[in-house]
Structure 1
Amino acid sequence: MMDLTVTRRYDAPPARVWAALTEPDLVRRWWGPDGFTAPVARMDVRPGGVSLVAMRSPGGVELYTTWTYGVVERPHRLEYVLRFSDASGRPVPPSSLGLPDGIPEAGVPHELTLETSDGGTELTVTERGYADAGVVAGSRLGLEQTLAKLAAVL
């Protein structure tokens, strides 16, 4: 299994970055890679809570995911499992959505840490459990673009 870690520094305090990661109106403004929008962000950020988030491609295809939270330590740490789903939140295999093999059907564990850094925040995102390097490379590209969009919101 392969993991992916991306770190980015923002000129905003941890509380502000946390809000952008957890508040529906803010998540809708940045979630998804370049060209994608986020029409849905129903956030239930608490241990055991499940958020439903969608991103819409430039061609109009919507991909839904659920984020099931294990650890919620405001404003320093979030751990959740991202699973692809239908619009109602029922899990669906990534392959049924035309996504590449190598994405774990049981979901992708995510760990987000926020640390104070030079008056701003250093956000580190780790995704775990990919089966091949091609999927890791694709996820890295999407994550880097998504985190750049987050910077514009902050």
Structure 2
Amino acid sequence: MNELSITRFIDAPPAKVWEAMTERQEEWFCPAPWRAEVVTQERRPGGRCDMVFKGPDGEEMPQNGIYLAWDEGRRFVTTDALTADFEPAGPFMVGSWEVAPEGKGTRYTATARHWTEEAKKQHEDMGFEQGWGACADTLAKLCEE
């Protein structure tokens, strides 16, 4: 499988982590000095999931796709293979963000599944481990405050 994944134990209950994951995305979803700006979120399978990643020098990277799954309190799954009205786009990945109870806290897992080994390697070379790890660390800080 052409999958990359990051996991963290967060010392906070799953409901608190879920709330931060979904209601405070602009605070953690993109590693600093970049930031995420939520444009549209239709939180249901087939709903739009549009963001813009904004860089410190005015760079903008649109992140447009749809939700494949929205399981309230547990996970959401997106893809950039389709955009609004199921318009095909250049697919890069299917992303999944999940929470599960673990002891007195929460196990957070973020996964990127790619169509090809080459796309997976490209994502690794872009800094997947560092970038998605920084996002997970920021999310943990928000939840553990």
Length-normalised TM-score, structure 1 = 0.75
CA contact (8 A) 1:64 1:84 kept: no
Question: Deviation digits for residues 108-144 of structure 1, max 9, x if unmatched?
Answer: 1012221101211101111011525353242222111
Structure 2: state its 5+ residue gaps: none
CA contact (8 A) 2:65 2:82 kept: no
Displacement, 1:146?
1.3
Length-normalised TM-score, structure 2 = 0.79
Aligned to 1:18: 18
Asked whether 1:111 is paired with 2:96, we answer: yes
Displacement, 1:107?
3.4
Identify the match of residue 42 of structure 1 among 40, 44, 64: 40
CA contact (8 A) 1:43 1:50 kept: yes
- How many residues of Structure 1 are paired with residues of Structure 2 in the alignment? 137
Structure 1: state its 5+ residue gaps: 94-104
Displacement, 1:41?
4.5
Aligned to 1:136: 124
Q: Quick one: which amino acid aligns to residue 54 of structure 2? A: R
CA RMSD of aligned residues (A): 2.6
- SS class of match (1:123): strand
What percent of counterpart residues are identical? 26
Measure, in 2, the Cα distance between the counterparts of 1:82 and 1:153: 27
Equivalences for 1:59-70 in 2 at 5 Å? 59-70=57-68
The runs of 4+ residues in structure 1 deviating greater than 6 Å are none
